[in-house]
């Protein structure tokens, strides 16, 4: 990058940096501009530069389509959204109070960075990876393998292992397992390993190939198993050639449909689909590998997948990360408006050593991510499509459960059966958070189910009892606390009047406690609570 | 909800109206519940789902002369020339209402894959979230005013891939309401129930109504400021759930309204009572009800008889024969049979060759299903298998062929398509289907 372009970037970023923070004293623009300029020019922080690039690109797209970008999100909207996207739960009421009272210009970025370093983020990423590798549709009876996989994911994520190395280990982990050594690591039988990925795919090359292509390359090969893909370039031969890299994986003992022992044959380099002849191993770009005898198919594949030149690997990762924050990928073949930007971000990702946090820090500081989700009459029909307004997104089962737990102060109560029932209701199959739809049973679970009932029971919940009974709290303070705990915001004046009237018109202490519980129940069942906006 | 009831509804949803009786604003919603006697149902469908893959050679396609035939005898039915297994005597007396399809021939031998295939008509792979036939029928034949959902699944087999219990790309609005079931054997008092219809213990009627009032009023601000998104469908689901909670709607699930002798006639089993509930739901305008036999309840191991086939099949047939024949009689006596298609099917059949554990294994190459009721000529057989039962000799029927037939019987065009989750339009049934038009009325 030339010096001139760095300066241009920094200048723009300084401007957008200020816009992102509270719109206060104008004179700060000049001072901050100068500081930011020098900071960025010398430090070259890849996240900030990427943020600037994203803002620039979006701006151009908006102007091209004559779209007026939505207003900035309030602190409450932003903090709640960020917390859900980074840690998988709404923020604590106490943290919200602190954040709202904070007057610093950079409080949003500081909030984001603090969350990225926490345990909540690791847990949330684990859930995301887990669903990716063991999708709900594919797991009839995987029971204990969930825990295996979680252990490996936790280890990788806590150590901030770069994305490419995680992918590499996933693809090359030993598959030589036996009943005595179920993770394939003799001498360390309790060490975590990603072998669950192989188990859930029944150690079958065709399954492993399809899942690998989908998860790591964003390529859907499934149709090509049976016929040449109707509108994409993949043929049956391409599929078979790709599956051949896994052809060495060989189950040796199968009991009751489960593989309990397996081995790897490094000499196997071909794969045949049913009723077809064997095809030699070949990468998806149709190059044949140089195959040293010491290598296994999977090792060769892993090197090809994680090669910086592989056009799919980094792009897919960036698209997925973008999805985590916007509900939809940045660019796809069907909608390539932001494809150039995706490529640029993929390059950034690769150049920083596949550091996921660099991309996340860049994304959460963008103007697009900080927009409100409120609709206005003047909105363009493609407002959301071009990221000029934040989408309302459904929460995952885990996010819902964690958020209810946090909002209602439930950590002390165990309730494993109620939780499991609750989670089972919401662990659906539609992966797209922007299009997931609630069913009647899910709705009944929220309205009448045991988990929410326990959370809103003024006799059972210590937290609720405390809130309802504390003599030093006024009605309006109780209402404010309930809103902060659930919706991460303070109630409006109308809301305060409405709910305080309700509380104050109670004829007895018992009645008042019940009403506090009712308010909590209403808030937990509100769309504002149940959705990420 | 029509516009009329929406206005009345909002009148009642002003917060703080304590003391209004339980039926207060819920009455407004109830106005939108269809009185089944005023709105005659379009065709409905009851799928009797035989989880695990029922053995065709021991039920509908006996091979008594051959060593594959096993110990069971054939019996005559009330249609000359058609014989079925001795363990379905009452169904044998109703053969004039049934058409047997003895030439089902498919390729999926895995439970989850085969179930997905027959329920959706498509193979279980790829990015498209194909909807099951129940969701498709709900989509096409539901009455928008009906407080009951369009697709109900009674005592489904748990632990199967969730996708067979959802609605695929049609969206959760057409996902099945799952009812009843459970692992223990049914007691005499057993009735399938909908979990979550009652407010939590400790919340009495007025308080429950009060909370709902407050909630619906509170929602207005957010819905007004956020016009688009998944929360809109959520609001619809909440309203549908509330309508289902209304006494008139939920009474559909109250089997105590039926005479004890009728409940006995169906059999006091999960499946038997499930069939009775299916009749009640169809009577009230639900277009698709699935009742599962063999889903780890009723104390049996289901139809997946790899071991001890010849002990399990008679037990299952007893439950099936009782419930199925009573269902057909009951539908007929209420004038519903002509408009209700009753399907009997599992995901595949079982091996003609008996294995070493006196069992039969999975066999998709040649198996049987049966159709009765609305839209179908009864008293016939489609197709024929070889003497040893291993191959189809005449008129092989694929899953698309079968589902296309079901669609025609229900008055749905199988060639219609819907936009899928990947943007591509998908036909209800694959275009290659050759429906059994000869049996459709």
Which residue in the block uniquely carries the two structure tokens 């109780």? Answer: A478
For residue A102, the enclosing domain spans 75-121
What does the radius of gyration of chain B's CA atoms come to, in whole angstroms?
23
Check residue B68 and give its pLDDT. 93
Model confidence, pTM: 0.79
For residue B345, report the phi and psi dihedrals to the nearest 5 degrees.
-165, 155
- Cβ A447–B162 below 8 Å, yes or no? no
A128 part of a folded domain = no
Beta strands in B199-339 (DSSP E): 288-293
For residue A220, report the phi and psi dihedrals to the nearest 5 degrees.
-95, 105
Q: Contacts of residue B238 in chain A, CB cutoff 8 Å?
A: 438, 443, 447, 525
Nearest in space to B142 (alpha carbons), one of B104, B170, B112: B170
For A105-120, letters b (16+ CB in 10 Å) and e give bebbbebbbebbeeeb
A386 part of a folded domain = no
What Cα–Cα distance (Å) separates residue A89 from each residue in A98, A464, A530?
17, 19, 11
What Cα–Cα distance (Å) separates residue A252 from each residue in A172, A258, A260, B87, B142?
19, 11, 8, 42, 51
**Of A137, A225, A393, which has the smallest distance from its Cβ to B161's Cβ?**
A137
Question: What whole-number distance in Å separates Cα of residue B192 and Cα of residue B255?
Answer: 8
User: Which of A121, A152, A177 is the endpoint of a domain?
Assistant: A121
CA B108 to mean position of chain CA atoms? 21
- The nearest alpha carbon in chain A to B171 belongs to A437
Q: Angle of helix A107-116 relative to helix A356-364, nearest 10 degrees?
A: 150
Least confident stretch, A188-192, A300-304, A369-373, B14-18: B14-18
- Cβ B421–A430 below 8 Å, yes or no? yes
Residue A432: pLDDT band by 50, 70, 90 thresholds?
low
Check residue B110 and give its pLDDT. 80
Q: Of all helices (H) and strands (E), which one includes residue B368?
A: strand B367-373
Q: How many CB pairs under 8 A join A and B?
A: 169
Mean pLDDT of B332-346: 96
Q: What is B110-178 written as a DSSP string?
A: SHHHHHHHHHHSS-S-SS--PPPHHHHHHHHH--TT-SS-SEEEESPPTTS-GGGGS-GGG-GGGSPEE
Mean pLDDT of A83-87: 97
Q: Contacts of residue A223 in chain B, CB cutoff 8 Å?
A: 125-126
Mean pLDDT of A274-290: 87
Whether residue B224 is predicted with pLDDT greater than 60 in this model: the reply is: yes
Angstroms from A251 CA to nearest CA on chain B:
18
**Of B197, B211, B225, which has the smallest distance from its Cβ to A374's Cβ?**
B225
Whether residue A408 is predicted with pLDDT greater than 80 in this model: the reply is: yes
Least confident stretch, A340-344, A403-407, A428-432, B48-52: A428-432
Mean pLDDT of B192-207: 86
Check residue A412 and give its pLDDT. 54
Output the average pLDDT for chain B.
Answer: 85
Say yes or no: A271 and A212 in one domain.
yes
* Chain segment B23-68, per-residue pLDDT in tens: 444 444 444 444 444 444 469 999 999 999 999 999 999 998 899 9
A453 part of a folded domain = yes
B51: CB partners within 8 A, 6+ apart:
B115, B157, B292, B293, B294, B295, B302, B303, B304, B346, B347
Angstroms from B263 CA to nearest CA on chain A:
27
Mean pLDDT of A20-32: 40
For chain B, list the domains and their CATH numbers.
1-32+209-252 (no CATH), 44-185+269-439 (3.40.720.10)
- The nearest alpha carbon in chain B to A421 belongs to B195
Mean pLDDT of A174-178: 89
Say yes or no: A185 and A113 in one domain.
no
Q: Contacts of residue B207 in chain A, CB cutoff 8 Å?
A: 514, 518
Which residue in the block uniquely carries the two structure tokens 């191993």? Answer: A281
CA B307 to mean position of chain CA atoms? 28
Check residue A83 and give its pLDDT. 97
- The nearest alpha carbon in chain B to A505 belongs to B16
For A233-244, letters b (16+ CB in 10 Å) and e give ebebbbbbbbbb
A499 part of a folded domain = yes
Say yes or no: A98 and A148 in one domain.
no
Q: Contacts of residue B215 in chain A, CB cutoff 8 Å?
A: 521-522, 525-526
Token couple for A33: 């501009």
Say yes or no: A295 and A441 in one domain.
no
Cβ atoms A451, A421 nearer than 8 A: yes
Say yes or no: A299 and A402 in one domain.
no
Say yes or no: A504 and A401 in one domain.
yes
Question: What whole-number distance in Å separates Cα of residue A514 and Cα of residue A509?
Answer: 9
- Cβ A434–B229 below 8 Å, yes or no? yes
**Of B178, B226, B242, which has the smallest distance from its Cβ to A392's Cβ?**
B226
- Cβ B161–A442 below 8 Å, yes or no? no
Which residue in the block uniquely carries the two structure tokens 């000029």? Answer: A388
Which residue in the block uniquely carries the two structure tokens 């309790």? Answer: A190
CB atoms within 10 A of CB A25: 8
- Cβ B161–A441 below 8 Å, yes or no? no
Q: Contacts of residue A505 in chain B, CB cutoff 8 Å?
A: 16
B418: CB partners within 8 A, 6+ apart:
B131, B139, B169, B170, B425, B426, B428
Angstroms from B52 CA to nearest CA on chain A:
14
Mean pLDDT of B115-136: 88
Output the average pLDDT for chain A.
Answer: 85
Mean pLDDT of B240-246: 89
The residues facing B76 across adjacent strands are: B83
Q: Contacts of residue A430 in chain B, CB cutoff 8 Å?
A: 129, 166, 421
Mean pLDDT of A130-135: 81
Cβ atoms A157, A122 nearer than 8 A: yes
Say yes or no: A105 and A171 in one domain.
no
**Of A393, A457, A521, which has the smallest distance from its Cβ to B230's Cβ?**
A393
Residue A334: pLDDT band by 50, 70, 90 thresholds?
confident
Q: Of all helices (H) and strands (E), which one includes residue B100?
A: strand B98-104
Cβ atoms A452, A511 nearer than 8 A: no
Check residue A358 and give its pLDDT. 95
Say yes or no: A296 and A444 in one domain.
no
**Of B211, B225, B233, which has the smallest distance from its Cβ to A375's Cβ?**
B225
Check residue A435 and give its pLDDT. 57
A29 part of a folded domain = no
Q: Contacts of residue A137 in chain B, CB cutoff 8 Å?
A: 161-163
Most confident of A49-58, A461-470, B154-163, B191-200: A49-58
- Cβ B16–A457 below 8 Å, yes or no? no
A382 part of a folded domain = no
- Cβ B194–A518 below 8 Å, yes or no? no
Best interface-test mutation with B: which of A228, A389, A443, A529 has the largest number of B CBs within 10 A? A443
Angstroms from B233 CA to nearest CA on chain A:
6
Cβ atoms B287, B44 nearer than 8 A: yes
Say yes or no: A295 and A444 in one domain.
no
Check residue A20 and give its pLDDT. 41
Give the rounded percent of residues in chain A with a pLDDT score beyond 90. 55
Q: What is B28-70 written as a DSSP string?
A: HHHTTS--TTTS----EEEEEEETT---STTTTS--TTSGGG-
Q: Angle of helix B230-245 relative to helix A440-448, nearest 10 degrees?
A: 70
Whether residue B351 is predicted with pLDDT greater than 70 in this model: the reply is: yes
Mean pLDDT of B89-99: 97
Whether residue A163 is predicted with pLDDT greater than 90 in this model: the reply is: yes
Check residue B353 and give its pLDDT. 94
Give the rounded percent of residues in chain B with a pLDDT score beyond 70. 85
Mean pLDDT of A116-130: 92
Say yes or no: A190 and A114 in one domain.
no
Residue A34: pLDDT band by 50, 70, 90 thresholds?
very low
Check residue A227 and give its pLDDT. 59
A360 part of a folded domain = no
Check residue A417 and give its pLDDT. 85
Check residue B27 and give its pLDDT. 45
Best interface-test mutation with A: which of B230, B242, B249 has the largest number of A CBs within 10 A? B230
**Of B210, B211, B227, which has the smallest distance from its Cβ to A375's Cβ?**
B227
- CATH number (domain holding residue A506): 1.10.3130
Mean pLDDT of A497-520: 92
Best interface-test mutation with B: which of A254, A527, A528 has the largest number of B CBs within 10 A? A527
Question: What whole-number distance in Å separates Cα of residue B269 and Cα of residue B273?
Answer: 6
A151 part of a folded domain = yes
Beta strands in A69-130 (DSSP E): none
User: Which of A57, A88, A121 is the endpoint of a domain?
Assistant: A121
**Of B228, B234, B423, which has the smallest distance from its Cβ to A334's Cβ?**
B423
Best interface-test mutation with A: which of B234, B239, B424, B427 has the largest number of A CBs within 10 A? B234
* Chain segment A215-266, per-residue pLDDT in tens: 999 887 765 665 555 556 778 888 899 999 999 998 888 876 678 889 998 8
Q: Contacts of residue B244 in chain A, CB cutoff 8 Å?
A: 440, 444
Q: Contacts of residue A508 in chain B, CB cutoff 8 Å?
A: none
Q: Of all helices (H) and strands (E), which one includes residue B240?
A: helix B230-245
Least confident stretch, A453-462, B220-229, B292-301: B292-301
* Chain segment A45-64, per-residue pLDDT in tens: 999 999 999 999 999 999 99
Cβ atoms B366, B391 nearer than 8 A: yes
DSSP H helical ranges for A365-492? 397-407, 416-426, 440-448, 450-455, 462-469, 475-487
What Cα–Cα distance (Å) separates residue A119 from each residue in A124, A157, B220?
9, 10, 36
> What length is written for chain A?
533
Beta strands in A173-272 (DSSP E): 249-255, 258-264, 270-271
Check residue A84 and give its pLDDT. 97
- Cβ A448–B197 below 8 Å, yes or no? yes
Whether residue A8 is predicted with pLDDT greater than 90 in this model: the reply is: no
Mean pLDDT of A58-84: 96
Cβ atoms B108, B347 nearer than 8 A: yes
Q: Contacts of residue B129 in chain A, CB cutoff 8 Å?
A: 429-430
For chain A, how many structural domains are there in total? 3
Say yes or no: A150 and A265 in one domain.
yes
Check residue A134 and give its pLDDT. 77
* Chain segment A177-228, per-residue pLDDT in tens: 888 888 888 888 778 889 988 988 889 998 899 889 989 998 877 656 655 5
Angstroms from A88 CA to nearest CA on chain B:
18
* Chain segment B2-12, per-residue pLDDT in tens: 333 333 332 33
**What SS3 class is residue A202?**
coil
Check residue A143 and give its pLDDT. 60
User: Which of A260, A279, A305 is the endpoint of a domain?
Assistant: A305
CB atoms within 10 A of CB B19: 7
How many secondary structure helices (H) and strands (E) does chain A include? 25, 6
Q: Contacts of residue B227 in chain A, CB cutoff 8 Å?
A: 375
Say yes or no: A93 and A186 in one domain.
no
Beta strands in A134-247 (DSSP E): none
Least confident stretch, A435-444, B160-169, B357-366: B160-169
Nearest in space to B287 (alpha carbons), one of B32, B39, B65: B39
């Amino acid at each position: 990058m030339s010096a001139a372009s760095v300066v241009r970037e920094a200048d723009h970023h300084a401007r957008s940096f200020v816009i992102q923070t509270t719109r206060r004293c104008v004179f700060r623009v000049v001072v901050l501009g100068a500081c930011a300029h020098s900071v960025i020019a010398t430090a070259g922080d890849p996240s900030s530069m990427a943020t600037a690039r994203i803002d620039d690109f979006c701006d151009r797209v908006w102007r091209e389509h004559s779209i007026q970008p939505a207003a900035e999100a309030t602190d409450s909207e932003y903090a709640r959204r960020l917390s859900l996207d980074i840690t998988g739960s709404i923020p604590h009421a106490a943290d919200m109070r602190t954040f709202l009272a904070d007057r610093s210009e950079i409080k949003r970025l500081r909030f984001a960075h603090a969350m990225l370093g926490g345990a909540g983020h690791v847990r949330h990423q684990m859930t995301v990876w887990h669903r990716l590798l063991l999708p709900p549709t594919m797991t009839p009876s995987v029971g204990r393998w969930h825990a295996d996989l979680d252990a490996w994911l936790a280890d990788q994520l806590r150590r901030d292992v770069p994305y490419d190395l995680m992918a590499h280990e996933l693809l090359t982990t030993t598959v030589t397992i036996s009943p005595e050594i179920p993770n394939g690591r003799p001498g360390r039988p309790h060490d975590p390993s990603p072998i669950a990925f192989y188990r859930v795919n029944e150690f079958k090359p065709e399954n492993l190939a399809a899942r690998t292509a989908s998860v790591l390359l964003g390529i859907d090969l499934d149709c090509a198993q049976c016929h040449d893909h109707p509108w994409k370039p993949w043929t049956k031969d391409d599929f078979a050639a790709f599956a051949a890299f896994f052809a060495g994986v060989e189950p040796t003992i199968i009991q009751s449909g489960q593989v309990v022992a397996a081995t790897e044959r490094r000499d196997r380099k071909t794969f045949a689909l049913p009723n077809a002849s064997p095809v030699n191993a070949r990468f998806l770009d149709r190059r044949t590998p140089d195959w040293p005898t010491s290598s296994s198919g999977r090792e060769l594949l892993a090197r090809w997948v994680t090669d910086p030149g592989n056009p799919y690997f980094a792009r897919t990762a960036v698209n997925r990360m973008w999805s985590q924050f916007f509900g939809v990928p940045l660019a796809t073949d069907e909608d390539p408006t932001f494809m150039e930007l995706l490529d640029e971000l993929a390059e950034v990702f690769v150049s920083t050593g596949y550091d996921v946090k660099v991309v996340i820090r860049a994304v959460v500081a963008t103007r697009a991510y900080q927009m409100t989700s409120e609709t206005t009459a003047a909105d363009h029909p493609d407002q959301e499509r071009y990221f000029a307004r934040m989408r309302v997104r459904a929460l995952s089962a885990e996010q819902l459960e964690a958020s209810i737990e946090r909002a209602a102060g439930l950590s002390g109560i165990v309730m494993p059966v109620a939780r499991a029932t609750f989670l089972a209701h919401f662990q659906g199959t539609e992966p797209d958070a922007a299009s997931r739809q609630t069913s009647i049973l899910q709705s009944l679970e929220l309205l009448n189910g045991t988990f929410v009932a326990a959370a809103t029971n003024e006799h059972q919940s210590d937290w609720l009892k405390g809130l309802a009974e504390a003599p030093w709290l006024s009605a309006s303070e109780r209402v404010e606390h309930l809103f902060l705990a659930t919706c991460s915001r303070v109630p409006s004046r109308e809301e305060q009047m409405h709910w305080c009237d309700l509380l104050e018109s109670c004829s007895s202490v018992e009645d008042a406690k019940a009403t506090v519980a009712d308010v909590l129940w209403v808030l937990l069942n509100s769309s504002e609570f149940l959705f990420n906006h | 909800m029509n516009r009329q009831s929406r206005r009345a509804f909002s009148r009642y949803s002003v917060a703080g109206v304590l003391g209004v009786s339980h039926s207060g604003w819920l009455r407004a919603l109830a106005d939108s519940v269809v009185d089944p006697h005023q709105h005659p149902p379009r065709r409905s469908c009851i799928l009797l789902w035989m989880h695990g893959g029922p053995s065709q050679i021991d039920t509908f396609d006996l091979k008594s002369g051959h060593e594959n035939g096993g110990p069971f005898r054939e019996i005559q039915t009330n249609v000359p020339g058609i014989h079925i297994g001795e363990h379905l005597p009452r169904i044998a007396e109703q053969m004039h209402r049934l058409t047997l399809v003895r030439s089902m021939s498919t390729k999926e031998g895995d439970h989850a894959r085969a179930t997905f295939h027959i329920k959706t008509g498509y193979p279980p792979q790829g990015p498209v979230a194909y909807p099951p036939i129940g969701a498709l029928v709900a989509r096409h034949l539901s009455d928008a005013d009906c407080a009951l959902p369009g697709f109900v699944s009674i005592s489904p087999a748990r632990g199967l891939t969730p996708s067979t219990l959802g609605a695929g790309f049609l969206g959760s609005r057409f996902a099945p309401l799952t009812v009843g079931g459970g692992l223990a054997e049914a007691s005499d008092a057993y009735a399938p129930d909908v979990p979550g219809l009652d407010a939590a213990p400790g919340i009495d009627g007025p308080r429950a109504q009060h909370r709902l009032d407050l909630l619906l009023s509170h929602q207005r601000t957010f819905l007004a400021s956020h016009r688009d998104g998944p929360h809109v469908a959520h609001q619809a689901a909440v309203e549908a759930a509330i309508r289902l909670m209304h006494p008139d709607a939920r009474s559909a699930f109250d089997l105590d309204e039926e005479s004890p002798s009728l409940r006995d006639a169906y059999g006091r089993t999960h499946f038997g009572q499930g069939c009775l509930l299916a009749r009640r739901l169809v009577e009230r305008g639900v277009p698709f009800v699935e009742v599962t036999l063999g889903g780890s309840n009723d104390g049996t191991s289901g139809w997946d008889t790899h071991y001890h086939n010849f002990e399990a099949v008679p037990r299952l047939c007893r439950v099936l024969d009782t419930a199925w024949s009573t269902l057909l009689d009951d539908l007929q006596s209420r004038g519903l049979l002509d408009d209700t298609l009753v399907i009997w099917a599992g995901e595949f059949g079982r091996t003609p060759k008996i294995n070493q554990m006196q069992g039969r294994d999975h066999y998709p190459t040649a198996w049987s299903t049966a159709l009765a009721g609305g839209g179908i000529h009864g008293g016939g057989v489609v197709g024929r298998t070889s003497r040893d039962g291993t191959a189809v000799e005449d008129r092989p029927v694929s899953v698309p062929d079968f589902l296309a037939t079901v669609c025609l019987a229900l008055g749905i065009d199988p060639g219609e398509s819907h936009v899928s989750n990947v943007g591509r339009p998908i036909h209800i049934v694959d275009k290659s289907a050759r429906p059994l038009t000869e049996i459709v009325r």
